[in-house]
Amino acid sequence: MIHMSQVKVPVKELVKKAEPELLCKGKIGKAEEELVKKAAAKLIKMPIEEITFFCIEKKSMDARKKNNIQYIYRVSLSGSKEQKRVKQYGKNDVSYEKDSVIKNIPADERSKNGRQSNQTSDPKEQVFRNGNDTKKTVIAGFGPAGMFAALELARAGKQPVVLERGFEVEKRQDKVDAFWKGKGLDPECNVQFGEGGAGTFSDGKLNTLVKDSSGRNKQVLRTFVEFGAPEEILYLQKPHIGTDVLKKVVKNIREEVLSLGGTIYFGAKMEHIIIKDGKVQEVMATIDGQKKNFLCDALILAIGHSARDTFSMLKESGIKMEQKAFAVGVRIEHPQEMIGRSQYGEWYTKLPTAEYKVTHQTAQKRGVYSFCMCPGGYVVNASSEEGMLAVNGMSYSGRDSANANSAIVVTVDPSDFGSLDVLAGVAFQRKLEKAAYEASNGKIPVQLFGDFLANRCSTGFGSFMPQMKGGYDFANVRAILPVVIGDAIAEGIQAFDRRIKGYGREDAILSGVESRTSSPVRMVRNEVLESNIQGLYPCGEGAGYAGGITSAAMDGIRVAQMLLL
């Protein structure tokens, strides 16, 4: 088997020959596959008709040179004189491996030509073989970490009990829609809380920077495909599925957990943990206004990064936590067409909706960077507490709104919090969110970038309108932020304008406040992923061990596997 990591095909060639309806969505069709195969064969001087097996494992874009944008593919192939051709090629981006197995595609998912099939491996073959004991596991939270922990345990023959303070995704959608239309906030079920976690109302990004020697990243992606996500997430460098597809996947995973004997309580808020002799004994939750206790030998805490009241309860219960750095800032909107032209030039209408990632270090050594960029997306009111306001970005799978948006954030660390209290980061967030709420009487505060620079309230929009879910009104967004943060954002956006033409335009729309980038605490755990309380397993983003859907899901799997050893 020959492995190749730098097979390049120019976009201008793909635009001419590949299936346009697939190319614009990032999907690989037969014509594109043939172009990639031809390019790979040419590199190693193998006649294309002598290739007996060919598989595209990864697809990414190199748009640094606007006059020569290319897709780069990682492929594996078999054919004639493999060792000889690799030796003659002589570069380390091509290697030979005897009797190789394609690493990111299980053997039973590979069809004859190497493309992935819809079949998945038998879950019974993936589990650990000790599912007959009587240990009881309770999982607090049914976001990515809790969901994948529950699925892993259920497939191992366990019967986990899940307590989710919000509602199932169908009812949750109704609650969120009503809130965006001006009805009251439900502090227990909103953009942050409910089935699927905060990521359910996001762009549905599935990429992660976490190293994957364990194979859990690939397991997460394959599981998403199994439950309804499109197959291209298995090979795209930056996979996403959008909020609409993610909701369907979440529902399907829920039904799988239930079918395997798991129990899921929605509208079930964990109120108290009963600890005896340093070990978890019971969990008390409120369900439909009634208190209910659950005996447990293990409690997986997958509560998410916004469960501030639960953080307080854990602190009072003696669970060891630490302050943690995170980032705060604003959302910025531009016309998606502007971003597309800047990133892809003349090809922007033929390619997937353009993304960007930008960073800058200020003169004061503060890092400013884009976060959770949503192509063709919406800015949403992501509040979860009365009298406070936070924003986030969200896209549907089509990424087809008129605007691109991204958070522009600045890292803050414990030295910025002004207190040694472990929950000082929470207080820091709340102060910003309270100011944001008051700035526009509960609506999303918005400001044009030109007025942000001048530190004044805007009075009207420029050449484009915001794309938002939830009411909005003009305010001085800069006045909401600490001076050092506002100054850093102003400098950063002006620096980004030198990389993306028009980024610092005066009518770019800013909104605030972006404060939920990650958890403000880390729950300390040992080498077996257990906290200082025996039987308690902090997990996922809320515990400080993940950042995004995929890494949280991976951590959920990891904790579940530790319990199954």
For the beta carbon of residue 306, count every other beta carbon within 10 angstroms: 27
CB 419 within 8 A of CB 427: yes
Expressed in percent and rounded to 5, the helix, strand and coil fractions of the chain are: 35, 25, 40
Give the chain's length.
565
State how far the Cα of 419 lies from the Cα of 415, in Å rounded to an integer: 8
pLDDT band for 210, please (50, 70, 90 cuts). confident
- With beta carbons less than 8 A apart as the criterion, state whether 536 and 526 touch: no
Backbone angles phi, psi at 546, to 5 degrees: -160, 165
Every domain of the chain with CATH number 3.30.70.2700 lies at: 2-116
Q: Is residue 107 scored above 50 in pLDDT?
A: no
The residue that leads in pLDDT, 466 or 114, is 466
In angstroms, the CA 553 to CA 539 distance is 9
Residue 114's pLDDT is what?
38
The yes-or-no verdict on residue 238 having pLDDT over 70 is: yes
Q: Distance between CA 152 and CA 128 in Å, rounded?
A: 9
Give ranges for CATH 3.50.50.60 in the chain.
132-322+520-564
pLDDT in tens, 314-343: 999 999 999 999 999 999 999 999 999 999
**Average pLDDT value for residue range 404-419:** 97
Mean pLDDT confidence for 508-513: 98
Cβ burial, residue 118 (10 Å; 0-12/13-18/19+)? exposed
For residue 564, give the nearest of 149, 247, 187 by alpha carbon.
149
Cβ-Cβ contacts under 8 Å for 440 (sequence gap 6 or more): 389, 446, 472, 473, 474, 475
**How far, in Å, CA of 274 to CA of 254, rounded?**
27
User: Residue 295: beta bridge partners?
Assistant: 282
Helix orientation angle between 144-155 and 242-259, rounded to the nearest 10 degrees = 30
**In this structure, what token pair is assigned to residue 191?**
């953009």
Give yes or no for residue 282 having a pLDDT over 70: yes
DSSP 240: B
Q: Which CATH number fits domain 132-322+520-564: 3.40.640.10, 3.40.50.720, 3.40.50.1100, 3.50.50.60?
A: 3.50.50.60
Distance CA 333, CA 468 (A): 10
Q: What secondary structure, in 3-state letters, does 78-131 show?
A: ECCCHHHHHHHHCCCCEEECCCCCCCCCCHHHECCCCCECCCCCCHHHCCCCCC
pLDDT band at 147 (very low <50, low <70, confident <90, very high): very high
List the helix and strand counts (H, then E) for the chain: 16, 24
Q: Render pLDDT for 542-561 as a digit per residue (tens, 0 to 9).
A: 999 999 999 999 999 999 99
The answer, yes or no, to whether residue 423 has pLDDT greater than 50, is yes
pLDDT of residue 483 exceeding 70: yes
Q: Is the pLDDT of residue 491 over 60?
A: yes
Nearest to 366 by CA among 414, 405, 409: 409
Proportion of the chain above pLDDT 90, given as a percent: 91
Mean pLDDT confidence for 124-148: 71
- 127, pLDDT greater than 50: no
Q: Of 196, 302, 198, 202, which is closest to residue 250 (Cα–Cα)?
A: 196
Say what the pTM is: 0.92
β-sheet bridge partners, residue 406: 332
Question: How much is the pLDDT for 212?
Answer: 81
Q: How confident is the model at residue 134 (pLDDT cuts 50, 70, 90)?
A: low
Which tokens in the block code for residue 224?
């998403």
CATH number of 2-116: 3.30.70.2700
- Asked whether the predicted pLDDT for residue 442 surpasses 50, the reply is yes
Which range among 210-219, 299-308, 343-352, 503-512 shows the weakest confidence by mean pLDDT? 210-219
